[in-house]
Amino acid sequence: MPANPKYLTQSKWQRFAKITAAILGGYFVSVSFHLALASWFNRANVVMTMAYSGFILWVALMVLAFLAKSGLKIWGIYILLTLIFSILIYLGQTYNPTA
């Protein structure tokens, strides 16, 4: 059964933004989240856990990107989350260098 066309994204730019946000943005958020955890906790344990939980988080963020109304809005959210996690990585490496 094909999808109802009224629910599909009509704009090619919105479709492109959603696809790139799902693939690239979801990956950036997933990796930066796990690196932020690794900078505060035991690196070996987090990296081993990231092999599975990173993929699951990435897929969840992909689905979330396609559920959003606007591709640009989801890109903004993903960039903001990546910046927040990057700040946590910096602070973790500055104040907790042995973790």
Residue 9 maps to a domain: no
User: For residue 67, what are the domain limits?
Assistant: 22-95
Q: List, for residues 57-98, the tens digit of each pLDDT value.
A: 999 999 999 998 888 999 999 999 999 999 999 999 888 776
Q: How confident is the model at residue 11 (pLDDT cuts 50, 70, 90)?
A: confident
Residue 73 maps to a domain: yes
Q: How confident is the model at residue 7 (pLDDT cuts 50, 70, 90)?
A: low
Tell whether the model's pLDDT for residue 18 goes beyond 70.
yes
Q: List, for residues 21-50, the tens digit of each pLDDT value.
A: 999 999 999 999 999 998 988 888 888 888
Number of domains in the chain: 1
Q: Each residue of 29-51: b (16+ CB within 10 Å) or e?
A: bbbbbbbbbbbbeeeeebeeebe
Q: How confident is the model at residue 16 (pLDDT cuts 50, 70, 90)?
A: very high
Residue 60 maps to a domain: yes
